[in-house]
Amino acid sequence: MRTSCRQTHDLKTPLASIRAAGDTLLSGRFTNADGPRDYASLIVEESKRLARLVDNLPAVCTDHGCHRSVSFEELSLATVIDEALRRFGATLAHTQLDVHRDGP
């Protein structure tokens, strides 16, 4: 069975972040002294995220077809937003955008 579009997107997102952070590290374009450490941290976190995604792929395929196992967990929207802001904080620091979460 082929991987769904959503699963493919979930795998490509951390790969894109890792590549962007690596490209920035190679270019040396930093606005502060903590830039290299921030980008290295982003690479480590995104590679861990990618590893979790690969470890938790919902489809287990055999020669005779696929069996899906899906589990759901509750998420706080604020936690998801905070994580996204943290994950892309180093990238945003190099832009003129001021992004923050306002609300509970």
Give pTM, 2 decimals.
0.52
Q: Which pLDDT value is given to residue 57? A: 66
**pLDDT range class, residue 58, cuts 50, 70, 90:** low
Mean pLDDT of 35-56: 86
From residue 45, give the alpha-carbon distance in Å to each of 1, 54, 74, 96. 29, 14, 22, 24
Tell which wins on pLDDT, 87 or 65: 87
Give the residue among 103, 41, 51, 58 at the shortest CA–CA distance from 76.
103
Residue 23 contacts residue 42 (beta carbons within 8 Å): no
d(CA 58, CA 67): 8
